[in-house]
Homo-oligomer: A and B are copies of this chain.
Amino acid sequence: MRHAIDHKSPIPLHAQAEQLLRNMISEEEYQNGKVFPNEIELAKVLAISRSTLRQAINKLVFEGLLVRKKRSGTKVAKSVVSSKSNNWLSFSQEMKLRGITIKNFETQVSWVLPDDEVADFFEIKAERQVLKMEKLRGKPDEPFVYFVSYFHPRVGLTGEEDFKMPLYEMLEHEHSVIATLSKEEISAKAADGFIANKLQIPTGSPVLFRKRFVYDHGERPIEYNVGFYKADSFVYTVESSR
């Protein structure tokens, strides 16, 4: 584990270095803003050239994981969750990219009667039961997202699935449902008692509220999802051109 670069491996050195950096990124000290060893030092330790190391670093900078500043050094980018308009991922994937370990706890699955908005979106009768999934996520002692999903009966979920793996991956593999389109509405809300309790914040604190409508390839409704994000832990980013 010391200088974990294997010059005999068929994996390119820069790729090995990249992986190594990703591991470092997820370490707590670097998460908290510790600067990385400078390129020259690090290259020496890893026994690779500076250019090769820079290849790895550059990639991570481009991904937005690292920031560099002359004289100041290289650090982990400010931990901001982003959802770019073009490539949207499920939450756990976003977080994994940023090297933050997130735990799911309090995942609950149940069958319920849909409320009007859900029934309307799914275009089903209000008497038809749908699968509801609630999740609380964050670090174990610091929840920062609470969300609720409803799935269209068409998807064929039984409630026995493994909801621990990335959601859209699971849907794709287990149920051949490919989510391709989503419409989202984002607004600010004051946390009511229920949400405040879930997120362990005072009632009335601001939360970012996200409502998401997910469609499959044929624009048929798949999932209705709402999320409550602790105000300081989530930033939504959008890039658009005309």
Task: Tell me the A residues contacting B by CB distance below 8 Å.
Answer: 59, 62, 80, 82-88, 180-190, 204-209, 229, 231-232, 234-242
Q: Is the CB of B188 within 8 A of A208?
A: yes
Q: Helix, strand, loop or mixed for chain A's interface?
A: strand
Q: Is the CB of A181 within 8 A of B240?
A: yes
Copies of this protein in the complex: 2
Q: Contacts A207-B206, A231-B189, A231-B190: A86 and B242 contacting too (C-beta < 8 A)? A: yes
Q: Which of B184, B189, B190, B208 contacts A187 (CB 8 A)?
A: B208
Q: Contacts A62-B59, A62-B62: A240 and B188 contacting too (C-beta < 8 A)? A: no
Complex: chain B residue closest to A204, CB-CB: B204
Q: Is the CB of A181 within 8 A of B239?
A: yes
Q: Is the CB of B181 within 8 A of A84?
A: no
Please name 15 pairs of A and B residues whose Cβ atoms are closer than 8 Å in the assembled complex, sorted by A.
A62-B62, A84-B240, A86-B238, A86-B242, A181-B240, A181-B241, A182-B239, A184-B238, A186-B236, A187-B234, A187-B235, A188-B234, A205-B206, A208-B208, A238-B238
Contacts of A84 in B (CB 8 A): 240-242
Min CB–CB distance A146 → chain B (angstroms):
14
Contacts of A232 in B (CB 8 A): 187
Cα distance A204–B80 in the bound complex, in angstroms = 22
Contacts of A204 in B (CB 8 A): 204-205
Contacts of A85 in B (CB 8 A): 83, 85-86, 238, 240
